[in-house]
Structure 1
Amino acid sequence: MTQHSPALSPELCRERQLRLKKVLEQHSLDRAIITSRENIQYLTGVRTHRLMQAALCLELDGNCTLAAPNQIPEEAAVDECVTFAAQWHSTLRQEQLAVALKVLFEAVGSEAKHHVGLEATAGGNLMIRNLSGSNPNFTDLDADLWKLRRRKDTDELEMIRKAISCTEAMYAKAREIIQPGISELEVFNQLHAAAVIEAGEPLTALGNDYQCNSPGGAPRERIAADGELFILDLGPAYRGYYADNCRTIAVNRQPTDIQHQAWEAIVNVLNMVEETVKPGVSCRALFERAQQMLDEFQEDAFFHHLGHGFGLFPHEAPHLNPNWDDYFEEGDCFTAEPGLYTEALRAGIRLEQNYVVTDSGVERLTNFSLEMS
Structure 2
Amino acid sequence: MSNEQISLSAEYCRQRQARVCKLMEQLPVDRAIFVTHENIQYLTGFRPHRLMQAAVCIEATGECVLAAPNEEPADASVDQCVTFEAQWHCTLRQEQQQSALTALVEACGHLQSSIAVEGSVTGLHLSPTTLNSEHVIDLEPDLWQLRRKKDLDELQMIRRAIGCTDAMYHRAREIIEPGINELEVYNQLHAAAVEVAGEPLTALGNDFQCASPGGPPRNRDARDGELFILDLGPAYRGYYADNCRTFSVNKRPMDKQYEAWEAIVAVLEMVERTVKPGVSCRELFTQAQAMLDEFRPGAFFHHLGHGFGLFPHEAPHLNPKWDDTFAEGDCFTAEPGLYTDELKAGIRLEQNYLVTSDGVERLTNFPLEL
TM-score range, shorter chain: over 0.9
- Per-residue Cα deviation, 1:101-130 (whole angstroms, up to 9, x for no partner): 0000000012x3310001000254544433
Aligned to 2:100: 100
How far the C-alpha of 1:79 sits from its partner, in A, is 0.2
Task: Give the Cα separation in 2 of the matches to 1:208 and 1:154.
Answer: 26
- Per-residue Cα deviation, 1:193-237 (whole angstroms, up to 9, x for no partner): 100011100001111200000000000001100000000000000
* Matching residue's letter, 1:185: L
Percent sequence identity over aligned pairs: 67
2:123 is the counterpart of 1:118: no
Q: Is the 8 A contact 1:118 1:142 kept in 2?
A: yes
Q: Is the 8 A contact 1:308 1:319 kept in 2?
A: yes
Structure 2-normalised TM-score?
A: 0.98
Task: Give the Cα separation in 2 of the matches to 1:341 and 1:302.
Answer: 7
2:44 is the counterpart of 1:44: yes
Structure 1-normalised TM-score?
A: 0.98
Aligned to 2:72: 72
* Matching residue's letter, 1:169: A
How far the C-alpha of 1:28 sits from its partner, in A, is 1.3
Aligned to 1:192: 190
Aligned to 2:249: 251
Aligned to 2:89: 89
How far the C-alpha of 1:6 sits from its partner, in A, is 1.8
Aligned to 1:327: 325
How far the C-alpha of 1:62 sits from its partner, in A, is 0.2
Aligned to 2:158: 160
1:230-245 → structure 2 map (5 Å cutoff): 230-245=228-243
2:10 is the counterpart of 1:22: no
Q: Is the 8 A contact 2:242 2:333 kept in 1?
A: yes
> Which of 309, 312, 328 is the equivalent residue of 1:311?
309
Aligned to 1:342: 340
3-state SS in 1 of match to 2:204? strand
> Which of 150, 156, 180 is the equivalent residue of 2:148?
150
Aligned to 1:368: 366
The alignment of Structure 1 onto Structure 2 pairs a total of residues equal to 370
Q: Is the 8 A contact 1:101 1:128 kept in 2?
A: no
How far the C-alpha of 1:4 sits from its partner, in A, is 2.4
Q: Is the 8 A contact 2:34 2:117 kept in 1?
A: yes
2:162 is the counterpart of 1:137: no
Q: Is the 8 A contact 1:235 1:242 kept in 2?
A: yes
2:276 is the counterpart of 1:274: no
Task: Give the Cα separation in 2 of the matches to 1:187 and 1:141.
Answer: 42
Structure 2 unpaired stretches of 5+? none
How far the C-alpha of 1:131 sits from its partner, in A, is 2.1
Alignment RMSD: 1.1
How far the C-alpha of 1:314 sits from its partner, in A, is 0.1
How far the C-alpha of 1:3 sits from its partner, in A, is 2.7
Aligned to 2:355: 357
3-state SS in 2 of match to 1:205? coil
Q: Is the 8 A contact 2:355 2:361 kept in 1?
A: yes
Task: Give the Cα separation in 1 of the matches to 2:300 and 2:62.
Answer: 48
After TM superposition, the runs of 4+ consecutive aligned structure 1 residues lying more than 3 A away are 123-128
2:217 is the counterpart of 1:222: no
Q: Is the 8 A contact 2:232 2:242 kept in 1?
A: yes
1:53-64 → structure 2 map (5 Å cutoff): 53-64=53-64
How far the C-alpha of 1:320 sits from its partner, in A, is 0.1
Q: Is the 8 A contact 1:204 1:236 kept in 2?
A: yes
Task: Give the Cα separation in 1 of the matches to 2:196 and 2:14.
Answer: 30
* Matching residue's letter, 1:131: T
Aligned to 1:294: 292
> Which of 199, 205, 209 is the equivalent residue of 1:211?
209
Q: Is the 8 A contact 2:128 2:135 kept in 1?
A: no
Task: Give the Cα separation in 2 of the matches to 1:333 and 1:273.
Answer: 14
Q: Is the 8 A contact 1:356 1:363 kept in 2?
A: yes
Task: Give the Cα separation in 2 of the matches to 1:67 and 1:124.
Answer: 18
2:175 is the counterpart of 1:177: yes
3-state SS in 2 of match to 1:206? coil
Q: Is the 8 A contact 1:35 1:123 kept in 2?
A: no
- Per-residue Cα deviation, 1:237-280 (whole angstroms, up to 9, x for no partner): 00000000000000000000000000000000000000000000
Q: Is the 8 A contact 2:127 2:136 kept in 1?
A: no
Structure 1 unpaired stretches of 5+? none
Change (3 A) 1:2 1:306: closer
- Per-residue Cα deviation, 1:133-185 (whole angstroms, up to 9, x for no partner): 1x511111011100000000000000000000000000000000000001100
Q: Is the 8 A contact 1:118 1:125 kept in 2?
A: no
